[in-house]
Amino acid sequence: MRISVEQAIDLIRTGEVVALPTETVYGLAGDATNPNAVARIFEVKRRPADNPLICHFPDVASIYPYVMSIPKQTLRLMETFSPGPISFMLDLPENSPLFFATCGRSQVIVRMPKHEVFLKVLKELGVPLAAPSANTSGRLSPTNAEMVELDLGCVGIAVVDGGSCSVGVESTIVDARTEGTITILRLGAIGRQELQRVLPEVEVHYGATPAVVPGSRYRHYAPATPLYPITEHSLTTLSPGSVLLLVDEQREQIYQNCSAEQAVTLRLVSLGRLSDMEELARSFYRRLFELDRLGVSAAYIIPPDFGHSALGKALQDRLQRILTTHG
């Protein structure tokens, strides 16, 4: 069911949860300070109970009352990149109203999303919103309202249609609490280069261990269709009619590595072009989601080299989690 922003505000005020657009992916949003709303998010998503939720705020000023402090370095990044596709780890005081949203941890991850619908809801309600991606745990993050409906419509989740997400992959998560270092806890549209342009003297590390970010332990997958990685040399072993995902730049390589008869029987499904990373990222989850509509029992991909841009690394990371490597 599609609802208006006003209806979404009323529902969240009564402790309900609704799906809202952000610039990264759609979020399943509820009042982060209301234990019942938080419990409902875990229930709807069938999310493991130890996997905390990102808390969303409209601006920096609204974060201060909920955290111990905003360290100088973090503030600098917030001033540069927020609202936008980046989230920050901060320390919580004891007895925080965000206890349930953060699964009792001493840190919270905060984000200021850049989407007028989400910002309007945040400003009207005046409470932080817990909002994980609006998908059943383990499925693809939705980047449009239809994807949300197909996944969560059957469990009664309504969605505000805010169009297709402009970024398409989940926010970068950073821990910038320690002066002199930034740890990237999840790759996203803002990467090492972008961070170092703002803080050139700071060391940037990658450090997404499951102990720190519980979600990095879990695999993401396209629900019905297993996606197997193959090499160009195993192309000839694919049976006729096999679905092969590719980026446009791989077309030639594929034709060179299989016979003419085989080339006509393969069903090639394009993910887009490496030369337009932004569009590739924007449509990535949607195109993987559409795989299921082909009604095939498996699909294949020669994992492309997405390159070293922030988005390229983020896509590389997401594809790795989606691939079926056994079974």
- Is 109 among the residues that bind ligand TXA (CB under 6 A)? yes
Per CB under 5 A, 133 contacts Mg ion: yes
- Compare residues 108 and 258 and give the one whose CB is closer to ligand TXA: 108
What's the distance, CA 249 to chain centroid? 25
164: its two tokens: 């297709």
Which range, of 22-30, 195-203, 244-252, 272-280, touches ligand TXA by CB under 6 A?
A: 22-30
Q: In the beta sheet, which residues pair with residue 55?
A: 110, 130
Q: How far is the CB of 54 from ligand TXA (least distance, A)?
A: 5
Single out the segment in contact with Mg ion by CB under 5 A; choices: 129-137, 187-195, 250-258, 284-292: 129-137
Position of minimal CB gap to ligand TXA = 215
Using alpha carbons only, give the angle 118, 119, 124 rounded to the nearest 5 degrees.
100
Which of Mg ion, ligand TXA, none interacts with 291 (beta carbon under 5 to 8 A by kind)?
none
Structure-token match 């905060």, residue found: 110
Residues of span 122-151 touching ligand TXA by CB under 6 A: 131-133
Please say whether the beta carbons of 223 and 139 come within 8 A: yes
Instruction: Name the minimum Å distance from CB 65 to ligand TXA.
Output: 17
Q: Which two tokens stand for residue 202?
A: 């700071």
Least distance in angstroms from the C-beta of 200 to ligand TXA: 26
Sign of the dihedral defined by the CA atoms of residues 78, 194, 321, 166, in that order: positive
Regarding 162 and contact with ligand TXA (CB under 6 A), the answer is no
What distance in Å separates the CA atoms of residue 280 and residue 40, rounded to the nearest whole number? 33
Count CB atoms within 10 A of the CB of residue 122. Answer: 25
Neighbours of 205 (CB within 10 A): 11
Residues forming contacts to ligand TXA in the complex (CB under 6 A) are: 22, 24-25, 27, 51-54, 87, 102, 105, 107-109, 111, 113, 131-133, 170-171, 173, 213-216
Residues forming contacts to Mg ion in the complex (CB under 5 A) are: 133
